[in-house]
Structure 1
Amino acid sequence: MTQTTLPPTEKTQPVSAPRGSISDRSRAERKLGWLLAGPAFVVMLLVTAYPIVQAVYYSLFNYRLTDPDNRSFEGLGNYWVILTDGVWWQAILVTVIITVVTVAVELVLGFALALVMAKALSSIRPVVRAAILIPYAVITVVSAFAWQFAFRIDTGFVNSWFAWLPGVSDTTDWFGGQASSLFVICLAEIWKTTPFISLLLLAGLAQVPDVLQEAAKVDGATWWQRMWRVTIPNMKAAIMVALLFRTLDAFRIFDSIFIMTAGANNTESVSFLAYRQTISRVEIGLGSAVSVLLFLSVVLIAFLFIKGFKVDLAQARGER
């Protein structure tokens, strides 16, 4: 019995899409995504486009609300006044400190909570997830009032509970200095938004194939080796989304600062600076310029995150 084989030139070759092309599945998902999100995107664009354009327009004028008839065109003069003022750079520094500290701590704690929720017994898993998500359900203003109440000298209980710690006594004024005020603000933000990070990371943990974990165990990998070489690399897309969303939210912090310190002791953020210029001082031109700079900063942060992580979403979905 003879066996026939095809000539080398006639062998069936695997069919693959050209490098950099979009698969049919990706193209169909993009079309469906635009159809589902398109109407909401158009509505959001109409709602947000006008305020943005109006802010850009007002930022080009010397416009004070108490004297609306005496309005003069300044061009980029308002931006020059802001960028050459130390108050702006102080607000930037405070905003960056709060953002870096809160996001870094929340990422670590959120990942730990995500692991707990993923490993919890199926019988108590819903209870654990609901308990962890309770702080995120609290309104930010209510949370800020609660933390302010806890740390104040006259109404708080923190001083009496932690008087055994070095530097803490019954007369410790947490809102009397910049460092201690920022500490309380960061603590309140971490408590409030860590569940948000853990929820996103939990979704990322669910996408890590169990077969990779089992293969790593068979190869003798330790828990830390599996974490750094299997779990985290396969969660790169979820980590990027969590960091991006939380960083953009933290960079626009306003509520906690407004409630706890009202910008005192050099705790003014960029958002609070825009509020003070626009509402307190009714300087519409300068306040609009601060708002535009804040908007551009947020866009720059989003761009750097997306380019820096270089996440291949098609690969994350298992297409390639």
Structure 2
Amino acid sequence: MSTTSATAATKPAPKRGKPPASDRSRAENRLGQRLVAPAVVVMLLVTAWPMFQALYLSLFRYRLTSPDDKEFIGLSNYGTVLTDPLFWQDTWNTVLIMVVTVAIELVIGFAFAMVMHRIVFARGAIRTSILIPYGIITVVSAYAWQFAFSLNNGFVNAWFGWLPWISADTNWFGSHWPAMFAIMVSEIWKTTPFMALLLLAGLSQISEDMIEAAKVDGATWWQRLFKVILPNMRAAIMVAVLFRALDAFRIFDNIYVMTRGAQDTESSSFLTYRQVIEQMQLGLGSALSVLLFLSVLLLAALIVKLFKVDLAQARGEG
């Protein structure tokens, strides 16, 4: 009897299964599938053929300057790309730009979202003014920042010459890291309002009663931020980071306008552009585009996995 009791006491408790989805959750899933179905069909019709065409061309040695020499080489293009140091250098540049810009945009965008959420006086005017940079075409903003960092006419050297690492003759596009800094600044200025807009939507969903209850319990501002506000904004933060990371990973316009890839500032998208448009290497360019597409899919999966957002709980069903 004692042996049986001891065995029962040491036996691990059975794992709790995942609770069944509620009727509301299933109904919302069905409604969501019906709503997105037309968009998915249109996207497949528009993108499926170019995607399969790129995959097909990536298996050939094919250059537009000699179309009659098209030759099937299997996965050799992928081997050429993956063993080329330039590909990894451009991938490193892309990842660096993505990580730095998205991290800074998340902090500044959250500050802007807090201001737009709490401001009472002239709320519409303030929100509109914050969103102005995002409304400017990327090429136009890139040219503006290229002029700002210009050695002869730019205002950056004149306004910030009091900093020890900036002088009147600082050539921002003369070496790698200053050029990368200029590209990141232009990207952050342009897309931070988009991040702020997404975070504002999440901030608006937080109940004021929860924040007031935390105040009554004696929580400081930082405690309310990290214990109440940010945990309840996890879904909104995930969406904002996901959208911006995927967009930043495909950065092209700023680099094309500001440096043309000089000073080792190429991105993966710019490398693909050079292979397809400038060198007319459709085989290698298609392999690069396929690898870029797979990288974007992997990045999206990693971000979703990292945040571990329970959408049912975010809707208040948990």
TM-score, with length taken from structure 1: 0.92
| Alignment match, 2:40 | 41
Q: How far does residue 306 in structure 1 lie from its aligned partner after superposition?
A: 1.0
| Alignment match, 1:155 | 153
Q: How far does residue 154 in structure 1 lie from its aligned partner after superposition?
A: 2.7
Is 1:94–2:87 an aligned residue pair?
Answer: no
The whole-number CA distance in structure 1 between the counterparts of 2:185 and 2:49 is 36
| Alignment match, 1:15 | none
Superposition pairs for residues 71-90 of structure 1, below 5 Å? 71-90=70-89
- Runs (4+) off by over 3 Å: none
One-letter code aligned to 1:53 = F
Q: How far does residue 37 in structure 1 lie from its aligned partner after superposition?
A: 1.8
| Alignment match, 2:232 | 234
Q: SS in structure 2 opposite 1:82?
A: helix
| Alignment match, 2:258 | 260
Deviation sequence 1:144-190 (CA, Å, 0-9, x none): 00000111123312212222221222221100011000000000000
Deviation sequence 1:7-27 (CA, Å, 0-9, x none): xxxxxxxxxxx8432211112
Q: SS in structure 2 opposite 1:133?
A: helix
Q: Percent identity?
A: 62
Deviation sequence 1:266-303 (CA, Å, 0-9, x none): 00000000000111110000001010000000000001
The whole-number CA distance in structure 2 between the counterparts of 1:29 and 1:47 is 27
- RMSD between aligned alpha carbons? 1.0
The whole-number CA distance in structure 2 between the counterparts of 1:49 and 1:300 is 19
Q: How far does residue 40 in structure 1 lie from its aligned partner after superposition?
A: 1.5
| Number of equivalent positions | 302
Q: How far does residue 209 in structure 1 lie from its aligned partner after superposition?
A: 1.4
The whole-number CA distance in structure 2 between the counterparts of 1:33 and 1:68 is 46
Is 1:310–2:300 an aligned residue pair?
Answer: no
One-letter code aligned to 2:314 = A
Q: SS in structure 2 opposite 1:69?
A: helix
The whole-number CA distance in structure 1 between the counterparts of 2:214 and 2:231 is 14
TM-score, with length taken from structure 2: 0.93
Deviation sequence 1:85-121 (CA, Å, 0-9, x none): 1000100110011001100000000000000001100
Is 1:285–2:283 an aligned residue pair?
Answer: yes
Deviation sequence 1:229-249 (CA, Å, 0-9, x none): 000000000000000110000
Stretches of structure 1 that go unaligned for 5 or more consecutive residues are 1-17
When structure 1 is superposed on structure 2, of 30-39 and 102-111 the one drifting more is 30-39
The whole-number CA distance in structure 1 between the counterparts of 2:306 and 2:20 is 22
When structure 1 is superposed on structure 2, of 146-155 and 18-27 the one drifting more is 18-27
| Alignment match, 1:300 | 298
Stretches of structure 2 that go unaligned for 5 or more consecutive residues are 1-16
| Alignment match, 2:10 | none
The whole-number CA distance in structure 1 between the counterparts of 2:62 and 2:19 is 50
The whole-number CA distance in structure 2 between the counterparts of 1:281 and 1:211 is 61
Is 1:275–2:235 an aligned residue pair?
Answer: no
The whole-number CA distance in structure 2 between the counterparts of 1:100 and 1:35 is 35
One-letter code aligned to 2:247 = D
Q: SS in structure 1 opposite 2:68?
A: coil
The whole-number CA distance in structure 2 between the counterparts of 1:106 and 1:310 is 21
Q: SS in structure 2 opposite 1:92?
A: helix
The whole-number CA distance in structure 2 between the counterparts of 1:273 and 1:53 is 20
Q: How far does residue 34 in structure 1 lie from its aligned partner after superposition?
A: 2.0
When structure 1 is superposed on structure 2, of 29-38 and 178-187 the one drifting more is 29-38
